[in-house]
Amino acid sequence: MNARMWEHPATQANVDLLVARGVELVGPAAGELAEGEIGVGRMAEPEEIAARVEAILGAGGGALRGRRVVVSAGGTREPLDAVRYLGNRSSGRMGVALAREARRRGAEVTLLAANLAVPAPPGIEVVETPTAADLERAALERAGADVIVMAAAVADYRPAEARADKRPKDGAPWMLELLPTADVLGTLGASRREGQVLVGFAAEGAGPDLERARRKLLAKSVDLVVFNDVSRDDVGFDVPDNEVVLVSAAGEKEVPKAPKERIAAIVLDEVQRLLSEG
């Protein structure tokens, strides 16, 4: 392709759409083009394309080949009536990036999908888990997995009652009673099997309170807590980037701001380290 065709806004908009749908591009490369011009538009070298396809399909002994990995993603919605719910701003991007990366590394992946705003990656099992109770059920059914990553923002409270119809407006206040939901990660941690790796996320405001993260590690009996600041606009909930601190028994590892795909790769490197320790 000629560089002007590649750079054209229509081409770039189509490329952005494909990438948002989970398509990965290999190239184009820069160099000599068909008409003798120099620029970006060359097809990537066949070896490079083949290597990437192999990595994506987990061929050549992906590092997580033969491992069962469960990832929860998105945010649960707890119904108030037939049309209303209590929810949160999680888009599911972080969990989807983790699921895609685990698949790339050869794992057999199940995605517990809580109201995703982004498409699920191909080649994995997707289980719809719109509420905390759905997510709890699906996660406990798969509690024997080698790796469980709880990236979903699970509601800590749900309305005590959900009306089957739509509550009509009557001008009077609507008092809600909220009941605590089950802590899925805590339950998984309490009954974990040996050699399993459990990963939790901690959504905190106003800078990392690592003491709290360390306490969570122990209290929930998990191997890794991925700490992210949800008070910022440029990272965390519902944006493409994240900036996290990985907290494990080995200590803390700060991961500077990067696309969630890159963060996912770093989290899974850490998971692999923990798996190798048994």
**Residues at the site binding ligand CTP, with contacts judged by CB under 6 A:** 132, 150, 152, 154, 156, 181, 183-185, 200-204, 216
CA 255 to chain centroid: 16
Smallest gap from residue 228 Cβ to ligand CTP (A): 9
- Judge if the upstream peptide bond of residue 28 is cis by omega within 30 degrees of 0: yes
Q: Is residue 228 annotated as part of the catalytic site, yes or no?
A: no
For the bound state, the minimum distance from the C-beta of residue 208 to ligand CTP, rounded and expressed in Å, comes to 11
As a whole number of angstroms, the distance between CA 269 and CA 220 comes to 22
CB 24 within 8 A of CB 101: no
In the complex, least distance from residue 132 CB atom to ligand CTP, rounded to whole angstroms: 5
**Whose Cβ is closer to ligand CTP: residue 143's or residue 203's?**
203
**In this structure, is the dihedral angle defined by the CA atoms of residues 55, 58, 60 and 65, taken in order, positive or negative?**
positive
In this complex, which beta carbon is closest to ligand CTP, that of residue 152 or of residue 244? 152
Choice between 56 and 183, CB closer to ligand CTP: 183
- Which string of DSSP letters, residue by residue, matches 148-213? EEE-SB--SEEES---SSPPPP-SS-----EEEPP-HHHHHHHTPPTT-EEEEEEEESSS--HHHH
183 or 269, CB closer to ligand CTP?
183
Q: Return d(Cα 262, Cα 256) in angstroms, integer.
A: 10
Cβ closer to ligand CTP: 12 or 231? 231
CA distances to 67, 89, 168, 223 from 112, rounded to whole Å, are 17, 17, 33, 20
Residue of 88, 115, 228, 242 marked catalytic: 88
Q: What is the residue whose two structure tokens read 């996660």? A: 139
What values do phi and psi take at 113, rounded to 5? Answer: -100, 110
User: Using CA atoms, how far apart are residues 278 and 111, in angstroms rounded to an integer?
Assistant: 24
> What minimum distance in Å lies between the beta carbon of 183 and ligand CTP?
5
Q: Do 181 and 156 contact (CB within 8 A), yes or no?
A: yes
Q: How far is the CB of 53 from ligand CTP (least distance, A)?
A: 33
Terminus-to-terminus CA distance in the chain, angstroms? 49
Give the residue with the Cβ less far from ligand CTP, 31 or 205.
Answer: 205
The residues annotated as belonging to the active site are: 88
